[in-house]
Structures are given as C-alpha cells and as structure tokens.
Amino acid sequence: MQRLQGKRAVVTGAAQGIGAAIARRLAEEGATVALLDLDADKAGAVLGTPHFGLACDVSDTASVDAAFAQVQARLGGVDILVNNAGRGSAPGDGMDLFYAAQAERAQQIAEGKVPSVFVDQTIHCSDEGWSQVLTVTLDGVFRCSRAAVRLMAEEGIGGSIINIGSTAGVKGNGPVPYCTAKAAVLGMTRAMACELADRGIRVNAVNPGATETPIYAGLPPELKDSIAADSVLKRLASPEEVTGAVAFLASEDASFATGSTVTVNGGAYFA
C-alpha cells in the first residue's frame, strides 16, 4: 500500500542512519524524496531517480533557504518535512569525558561495584561546544520548518512536519546539550502544531530510543550493553524500526494527529 503516492517529501540528515532509512521508507510509500545533507553525493546515492540529494547545512539559514528553493524548483513545493538532522557532539562540549565516564561506570556496575566515577560534562562543556550542538539539533529544526512552512502556506494545501526527537530529550539520560536540544524540539513541535493547525499543517514528533547508527557503533561494548539493557526489549533498534511511525504520521492515516509524540524506544520509558 502506497499511502504517500504523489507526495513531495524532504528529509534532512538523510545520507545515513535513521535519515536514510526514513527516506527509503517514504519512497516505498510513494513519495518523491529530496534528501538533504552536508554530503549531497552520499545522500543522493541512497535512492535513485526521481529522488535526489541536495547539499544543506541546517546550521546556516542561507544554506537552508537555498536548498528549499531548489526543492521548490524541482518538485513545485513540499507536502512532508522530516526534520532528522542533528548533532550529538561537538568539539569542546565534553562529550569525550561523558562517554568515558559512562563506560567506566557501566564497567563498575557490571563488576557489582558502586559507581564512583563522576561524568562532569557540564563542568567541561564550553560555550562553543554547547552552541554547535544546539544550532544543528534545535535551531536547524526551526530553520527547515520555517522554509517548508513558507512553501506549504504558498500552496495552501496543508502538509505534515515530523520532528525526530529522542528518548534522551524526555529522560535526560544523555549529554546535556543534546538532551536539552531534543527536549526543546518537543516543545517546538507542540507550539507549531497549535500555530499551524488553521493552515492544515500537522506537526508531530517521533521519539526513537537507542538505535544502531554510526554514533552508537563507536561506543565501548560495555556502554552499548548498558544502554541496551535500559529498555525492556534489551536491545538497540534498527533504523528501519523507526520509519513506520514516521510514515504513519506523514500519511492521511494520521489526519487527526497533531502535536503528538510517537515513542519508539523498546520500553526505555512508558508514556
């Protein structure tokens, strides 16, 4: 069943991981997909024609606006936007200390010891490191939503925006800049849902749990095991397991859903 036949979709951060999986799923559902990423060639290789990749730095307004101008020129507009692009770490944000401490704490717990290592990311996070995470993970969602809404409003036929949040934005069990950004994305989702309802634009979020992406691939085994054990299913998700919720929210099956958050986290928390 192709629920998105004839729809025009934009997916950010689409060159790999969850973004690439979402782009493939929307294409399977019948949409024509513009895959936006810093690496346009890699994004373009995810799907063949008529889908296409575009260079886009979501931390830069001019880059975002230029990418959406190309989308309008090639597709005539946008029906679906998936804000997936995010940045989990940046130089100077203390992320290396965070993961090193978490790995050591996980090892201590595995050995039956009381954890004695402090994480201390907040102490060591610089202003620049903080800002670099938020300008992509939070501000980038706003920039792309603004560009898409301009096109949706111009056509006057409504649309659907899906923001990719994170379990970390609810539980707070991750790096402080990233958790803060993802929590704010959920607030933005609700605020935009209220504002844009009269235009027929629905705005929802999907909150994935820990997922097998390049970020997790580089973690120490003890830390990955600890993260997996935090959910009742005791494993990480595949990127493809996140895509069903996105396709649902993009489709008319979710025509009465806006301001909602669909949680896909293996039971890391219950909401």
The CATH number of whichever domain residue 75 belongs to comes to: 3.40.50.720
Q: How many structural domains is the chain composed of?
A: 1
Q: What is the spatial distance between Cα 170 and Cα 242, in angstroms, rounded to a whole number? A: 17
The verdict on residue 160 lying in a domain is yes
Q: What is the spatial distance between Cα 31 and Cα 9, in angstroms, rounded to a whole number? A: 6
Q: What is the spatial distance between Cα 203 and Cα 123, in angstroms, rounded to a whole number? A: 35
Which residues are CB-contacts of 89 (< 8 A; sequence separation ≥ 6)?
A: 95, 133, 175, 178
pLDDT number for residue 139: 98
The verdict on residue 3 lying in a domain is no
- Reported as a single tens digit per residue, the pLDDT across 187-215 is 999 999 999 999 999 999 999 988 988 77
Range 212-219 average pLDDT: 78
- Reported as a single tens digit per residue, the pLDDT across 129-183 is 999 999 999 999 999 999 999 999 999 999 999 999 999 899 988 889 999 999 9
User: Within 13 Å of residue 88, how many CA atoms lie on the same side as its CB?
Assistant: 15
Q: What is the spatial distance between Cα 86 and Cα 239, in angstroms, rounded to a whole number? A: 15
| Domain of 236, in residue numbers | 8-264
Query: Side chain identity at 14, as an amino acid letter?
Result: A
β-sheet bridge partners, residue 8: 32
The verdict on residue 256 lying in a domain is yes
Q: What is the spatial distance between Cα 239 and Cα 13, in angstroms, rounded to a whole number? A: 13
The verdict on residue 26 lying in a domain is yes
What average pLDDT does the chain have?
Answer: 93
Confidence band for 222, pLDDT divided at 50, 70 and 90: confident
The verdict on residue 102 lying in a domain is yes
β-sheet bridge partners, residue 205: 163, 261
Q: What is the spatial distance between Cα 85 and Cα 43, in angstroms, rounded to a whole number? A: 12
Q: Starting from the edge strand earliest in sequence, which strands make up the sheet with 159-164, in order?
A: 52-55, 32-37, 8-12, 80-83, 159-164, 201-208, 261-264
pLDDT number for residue 179: 94
The verdict on residue 269 lying in a domain is no
Which residues are CB-contacts of 242 (< 8 A; sequence separation ≥ 6)?
A: 18, 21, 22, 164, 206, 208, 211, 264
Residues identified as active-site: 178
The verdict on residue 28 lying in a domain is yes
Burial class (CB in 10 A: 0-12, 13-18, 19+), 255: exposed
